A and B are shown apart, each in its own frame.
Chain A
């Protein structure tokens, strides 16, 4: 009991420090939020705060924000933000909202870490399960990650998606599948791609059901949960329809992710590919890219069936690389989930390489973008090359972690192989 109380004090201190740091950055450098909002690495066409403000302005002046090419975000954000005072006059309310969202995400992460699900699930217990970081450390790593802080300052709406995903995972782990599904449908409603997390999340929730009202059949459990997710998603769409008065928002928010009409540069691979793509092949490659993105879900869920949380983490990493409009905020979510797998870190083979590649592209990305856009001394290939390096670095990290998780699993069967050289056939 005393131990728990101490923990509570510690985490409260952590959250207070994180909030204070963010508030200090907001207030001491008043130009910083707008500067970061303009960075293509953080704000994408589907999450940008500036576009949100434009959508809000149009919404408040009775112009449909979806009858235009600027606003591509979910309709429910509009009434939420129109409740807040005007961000240009009283920015503090917006700042507080974003800080709160970050703290909520951190708290969900804290609970996920404290559950110990990463190292010992229902079907599998790692031999290294004692080597782990507490929720305090995991939350701290999330809160003080420069990518997370930059995201919070730039105020993209992707933080809401991050928060919803983390809560969905936390609720699934704590045996409340319907809340998890509600949370996931919020995430999917806001940015569509989280719907792909449904299979591993259902598996996670199935594994972590409370003993009292346990549904034994996986099919039955999955059926009810998918139904719950669809119902809540349907309800969200219905509310949005009532709010905007038409279904226009569907093509504007989700259609743009499917068709990639807006080719604003970002850290992903899609934009330059589809700028340079020949017109006759555009639809074909859009299909290929989406198929590629969703192809990982089945493979990972089946192969790493015993550790659904690892599947969720790996998928988040993959989405951060291959989704249509990725940003640093998606990478920060993946980096937030990684420390849960502290126990497999020693099994990773390329940690130094991936760390250097990520750092390299983090520093060179903005520089090359500047060379292209402002100085004109570089061309688009400079920034494209950096996004390629960034994506390759992250995908190396994802594969490496997959390898580590699988080897960890294999070493439970073959305890004598710990530390030995192995190969895959």
Chain B
């Protein structure tokens, strides 16, 4: 193996001159309010389409590439997500929400197939193959969890017109899947440096899955630069929001313990603040943190395959914020004064320390000195269940457009399980915050009703919300009761309902700011639906009781129908009561016994 590689590597080095930017990686750190830290890892590698067809994968992971070739996948997006993005305090999402999935695992892909049946078959092959590759239950994406979105997802790649005609978009989501370390390991193995060097060496399952929010994404799409050959691009991103205080807990002593009284941070503005009473202060005031502290590891140099011109680590903090780095690191500041990047020597360990900045005293700093104010998102969305009981309920989505002057147009997509029978005629919208608005906010509806045990509900709404207003979208549904074998273990926990996907359409206004000129996404949280449950312990009893009731009715009626009426004293004489029956039985037995005896003799 070693000798084979040593033969290959010089070839690579030769070709590297031509494809200098075939591999790219960067870590973006962004301190967020309430002592949170957003870390966005971005890994991107390319291979030209002709090389890909010839099975020369280079930086493109072979295991994934072969699956894609086998099932004719033209574009693929896979997401593993956990937690909730707190838009109210953290602002707009990273990558405009395009690299994020609903809680659990989400997959959508464009497959090349002549018919719908062929596409379904290929989709099944794809989900099963990816399931093995990523150690996730993707094989559970069956017909009931697969949809074909009509308006929501837009292809990101550059596809030639010949394939565009018979490309099928299929989308599946597993909201119950718990994303964990076993999904990170195969994810890292797809990277050229495999988590051994470069920014990927910071990734550790303990910290990643302990984050307040995290999303791992894989996007594969063909990209055709205008003057070059088309390339197949794989982009792997990991975004996570770390709670700094939580991440700083030492790994060998992770159990949180209450701090001793003299270490408590108290809010001294409360009237009852005294020596023995304490109202805990908000953790707004910045904390000191270091890269190796929050990630639990140090960064081991840079990945040698990456473009040396791209700085591997960037931090979005104002220039007024003090940042200390390890020796030998070059700092590059951007002209805007809001972010800086670091070039790291390829063989030394890298760390970063942000000291605590005092908000009091002589050199008092304000929040603006400490961190970049988060951007306001284009839309806030939250969704919840209404009603009580296990018979029926409602869903309420609250969609708020915070912009004071621009309306927002988007597509709201719900994929609901079949056992949630929605009543579309109860779909209502109510608008608040603006008066005299009579227009219907729902412009277009695409609805595909659920079919029992065959497919789920697909609901896509194109909506437009006027500036500074809130829309309440509600509809009713009924909870079905299932066969007892269809309930998962721990049926009373409930069933997860996938996040709704909101695709904000690019603004068509000529003077729209650049942030509004591209598609962005957001997703609500997933919901937990509790269904009525039968008693799982007694199938036999129920079968026996019901059968008895049926037998009693049938037997009783036929007994009456087939027998003759006689007066009580007519017909063959039978002594009444138990005594008579016993006598009759005994005499019958005696007769049988006598008969048997006679035969023996």
Contacts and interface: CB of A to CB of B under 8 A. Distances in A.
A and B bound? yes
Contacts of A274: 483
Given A269-B550, A380-B534, A388-B549, A410 B389 contact: no
B512 to A, nearest CB: 33
B557 interface: yes
A263 B545 contact: no
Most central of B452, B553, B564 by chain A CB within 10 Å: B553
Contacts of B539: 276-278
Interface stretch (A102-110, A219-227, A296-304): A296-304
Contacts of A58: 424, 447, 449
Interface string B542-561: 11011001101110111111
A69 B425 CA distance: 15
B11 interface: no
A363 interface: no
A149 B487 CA distance: 38
Contacts of B554: 292, 295
Given A380-B533, A381-B538, A424 B559 contact: yes
A70 B560 CA distance: 41
B483 A275 contact: yes
A407 B545 CA distance: 31
Contact of A263 (B390, B482, B485, B533): B482
Contacts of A321: 553
Contacts of A425: 563-564, 566, 571-572
Nearest to A392: B549
Interface string A260-281: 0111110001011111111100
Binding site of B, secondary structure by majority: helix, strand, loop or mixed? mixed
Interface residues of B, number: 54
Nearest to B539: A276
B567 interface: yes
Nearest to A411: B565
B543 A273 contact: yes
Given A278-B539, A380-B533, A425-B571, A303 B561 contact: yes
A303 B556 CA distance: 15
A275 B543 contact: no
Contacts of B445: 61
Interface string B530-542: 0011110011001
B272 interface: no
A395 interface: yes
Interface string B39-56: 000000000000000000
Contact of A372 (B484, B532, B562): B532
B60 interface: no
A38 B562 CA distance: 42
Interface string B398-421: 000000000000000000001001
A384 interface: yes
A395 B556 contact: yes
B563 A54 contact: no
Interface in A269-326: 269, 271-279, 289, 292, 295-296, 299-300, 303, 318, 321-322
Contacts of A392: 549, 552-553
Binding site of A, secondary structure by majority: helix, strand, loop or mixed? helix
Given A63-B447, A406-B560, A425-B564, A395 B542 contact: no
Contacts of A296: 557
Contact of A424 (B447, B453, B560): B560
Contacts of B561: 299-300, 303, 402, 406
A406 B559 CA distance: 12
B550 A264 contact: no
Nearest to A372: B532
Most central of A70, A381, A396 by chain B CB within 10 Å: A70
A51 to B, nearest CB: 8
Contacts of B564: 424-425
Contacts of A414: 565, 567
B553 A265 contact: no
Contacts of B546: 269, 272-273, 388
A66 to B, nearest CB: 10
A295 B553 CA distance: 12
A53 B535 CA distance: 32
Contacts of B483: 263, 274-275, 277, 279
B1 interface: no
A interface, size bucket: 35 or more
Given A54-B423, A69-B452, A388 B545 contact: yes
A114 B557 CA distance: 29
Contacts of A388: 545-546, 549
A374 B552 CA distance: 33
Contact of B423 (A50, A379, A403, A407): A50
Nearest to B540: A276
Contacts of A263: 480-483
B592 interface: no
A5 interface: no
Given A274-B483, A276-B538, A423 B571 contact: yes
Contacts of A384: 542
B434 interface: no
B291 to A, nearest CB: 49
A358 to B, nearest CB: 15
A69 B449 contact: yes
A87 B566 CA distance: 59
A398 B553 contact: yes
A399 B560 contact: yes
Contacts of A381: 535, 538
Interface in B476-517: 478, 480-485
B425 A54 contact: yes
B568 interface: yes
Contacts of B542: 272-273, 275-276, 384
A410 B571 CA distance: 16
A373 interface: yes
Nearest to B563: A424
B486 to A, nearest CB: 9
Contact of B567 (A271, A289, A399, A420): A420
Most central of B388, B392, B532, B539 by chain A CB within 10 Å: B532
B391 interface: yes
A373 B567 contact: no
Contacts of A69: 418, 421, 449-452
A64 to B, nearest CB: 9
A6 interface: no
A278 B540 CA distance: 9
A380 B566 contact: no
B449 A63 contact: yes
B165 to A, nearest CB: 26
B445 to A, nearest CB: 8
Nearest to A60: B425
A29 to B, nearest CB: 20
A292 to B, nearest CB: 6
Contacts of B392: 38
Contacts of B481: 263-265, 271, 275
A237 interface: no
A422 interface: yes
Given A277-B483, A299-B561, A395-B557, 12 more contacts: A40-B391, A58-B424, A63-B447, A68-B451, A262-B452, A277-B539, A295-B554, A318-B553, A372-B532, A388-B545, A398-B557, A422-B567
17 contacts: A53-B423, A57-B424, A69-B421, A264-B481, A273-B543, A275-B481, A275-B484, A277-B483, A292-B554, A374-B389, A380-B535, A388-B545, A391-B549, A395-B557, A396-B556, A417-B565, A423-B566
Interface of B: 388-392, 418, 421, 423-425, 445, 447, 449-453, 478, 480-485, 532-535, 538-539, 542-543, 545-546, 549-550, 552-554, 556-568, 571-572
Interface of A: 38, 40, 50, 53-54, 56-58, 61, 63, 67-70, 261-265, 269, 271-279, 289, 292, 295-296, 299-300, 303, 318, 321-322, 372-374, 376, 379-381, 384, 388, 391-392, 395-396, 398-399, 402-403, 406-407, 410, 414, 417, 420-425
